[in-house]
Copies of this chain bind each other. A is one copy, B any other.
């Protein structure tokens, strides 16, 4: 698409001027001190052409965006048996909640709320030392993005670990129901570290390509997951990818996507493109304010909504 470059550039310019940028996550100092004036956008079309603008090469903490990739890994490891340990329904909770766990015997509603992502991480940890499991996740990200320089920000991970009492509560709660197999500290340690992977929009858009193209990473031609599994991961992103703002994201943007509290969002236009947007300021629901706006503008201008041309 000849104009894609232009569209991406225009969006970046329009958003740069916006005074409303949301609030940067402040629960750990490492995230709080990120400059809110940054904005990046990268789109990779079916032919592999990259349209990118703004701070599209600045690395940021991918946080919950990593949950898409750990879900992919865990499905590769134990297949549909995963669904005995985590559901795939939207949570419908105003916050990332422990209430639902109590009501449903410690089985988290979906792999994209914190509890669910911890349960998914636990699957990857099983049979490994934490360090090995983490290595596997990191190598998977490097492979998908075709970039060995991707690394974990240990400071972010350490800070999350020091203050992550809510996540420790979720993990211990699931452990009391047998949903977590490994020592809670092992699983949480791996969880905090994969959330602390640092990547740029360009790298994330590259890593996401297989979900836009029937499970195949087009640049290498290598199959990451089956066609059906790619579709299904997209379906879960659509219904559960933005916590309790998932319905609104589907309504406004109309693409499967996943956001993180670091301000990153990935999105998938099936058959057409993979996308990553980033801006550190968050809206009330914890999703990147400008990132979501960028996706809304992009879909409006490209007609990529999955809900109709």
A contact residues vs B (CB 8 Å cutoff) = 87-95, 97-104, 109-110, 165-166, 168-173, 175-176, 184, 211-214, 227, 230-232, 234-236, 238-240, 244-248, 250-251, 254, 256, 270-271, 305-309
User: How far, in whole Å, are A244 and B89 apart by their CA atoms in the complex?
Assistant: 7
Contacts of A236 in B (CB 8 A): 247, 250-251
Residue of B whose beta carbon sits closest to that of A305: B231
Complex contact A307–B173 (CB within 8 A): no
Complex contact B89–A270 (CB within 8 A): no
Residue of B whose beta carbon sits closest to that of A227: B308
The 8 Å CB contact of A239, one of B98, B103, B232, B238, is: B238
Complex contact A308–B251 (CB within 8 A): no
Contacts of A91 in B (CB 8 A): 92
Given A95-B102, A236-B250, 14 extra CB contacts under 8 A: A88-B247, A88-B251, A90-B90, A92-B93, A97-B102, A98-B173, A165-B172, A169-B169, A169-B170, A169-B173, A231-B305, A235-B250, A239-B239, A270-B309
Q: A89-B92, A89-B248 are in contact. Are A231 and B169 (CB under 8 A)?
A: no
User: How far, in whole Å, are A236 and B175 apart by their CA atoms in the complex?
Assistant: 32
Complex contact B169–A165 (CB within 8 A): no
User: How far, in whole Å, are A166 and B174 apart by their CA atoms in the complex?
Assistant: 8
Residue of B whose beta carbon sits closest to that of A230: B308
Complex contact B100–A92 (CB within 8 A): yes
The 8 Å CB contact of A251, one of B99, B211, B232, is: B232
Contacts of A99 in B (CB 8 A): 98-99, 102-103
Separation in Å of the A258 CB from the closest CB of chain B? 14
User: How far, in whole Å, are A249 and B25 apart by their CA atoms in the complex?
Assistant: 34
